[in-house]
Structure 1
């Protein structure tokens, strides 16, 4: 049964699934789709071509799908999507995409965006991402599955955060973070591997030791970085997580790569 509080405003054209609950003082635009079981607690604003997945919960004063903070935006019908089971806490803002970018802002399934998180235009968040209080993302940021972003961290435009990575609180991240890497500081430096995250994913001690050996070769040995990448692939490339890290390093990047004791490795150096 769909429940709409009398004080809520739901525009004609909005599509509401079964069991949707819309609390007082919510405002739903005409191009919004709320799938089954979505719950908007109160004072939530959803506009634009926006879709919320099954069982998503939005807490008071969250806003989703509003125009991007981009002076080039001219009202194009860009989109915003949030996956099933995601929680969006108080005062979060998630803006729709831009015509000059991907055209869509995506948040995956079963994510947790804590209070006052900002997801800018054209960002892509994978499944199971956790962003703690006051995290801010510039436009076009990519965060892969299972990454954790500590409170008050700031992610520069176009930065990529790899799968299972950990960004420490109050970190300024201006370049890419490898899968399962851990960065911290202002500006952020690569401090090691996210061992806690790896253990939570069921990696046994032997696998973690092998990953640590690959990490040391990549980031703590001397010599050209490109040569170390090649040697790591030769010695440890059969490990699927090592292979994932190497693929991430070699993928196109607009921000370069964070590595230990260095601000960034230029994309050409990592190729």
Structure 2
């Protein structure tokens, strides 16, 4: 595998969960830079490529998923005129794995979910990236635009269907996948017990809650990049981690935070803001 330069996702061995070595730079008492990724495996691997491209140095990347996505059969019946809503890539991928087909209109919470739905053949209406904003956008269509069916996981951060019904829009929901909790890996526990500056991007409140026991016992110099205030609020106050919240609820804004955290620690040279 090439060392340095832009990381290529396609060169990451399928079984590998760690890439790179710690350096000897950064603040006093900090021996290196590690990025700990806790999203489901496929999403973590995609994000790893973006992290290394953006930061432009050789941080150690440790992939330690805290959840596994398992589709839950069967799919609900979608009647003519029904409009599915997806609030994550996992929803789109699980819908496809359960035999769902594209075609017609689908609402999606943000750009990455929208891209997945377009690949499946949907004509996508895209929301602003957060659940409340998505509810406002869908409700603005009016009650005559068809029944909304929110296809989500067994663990959800908000009641989209309830918000839409309160706004007068016919809406229903169905859980089509489960986010099964996984234990924190040995590699991740070693990272948290070490002396590196550790950057941890977090994309959901459930991920934050699952990581919390490990944070409470951590000795590393922790920096959390939370995608939203709700995710930041799910973290334990006693962990001692410093928390920064992304300016927007999307992956690019989380990358902005990671780049700033790396730069402030002396690990990023002249590349802050490069995309």
Structure 2 length normalisation: TM-score?
A: 0.25
Higher normalized helix content (fraction of residues): 2
User: Normalized against structure 1, the TM-score is what?
Assistant: 0.26
Higher RCO (CA 8 Å, separation ≥ 6 residues) = 2
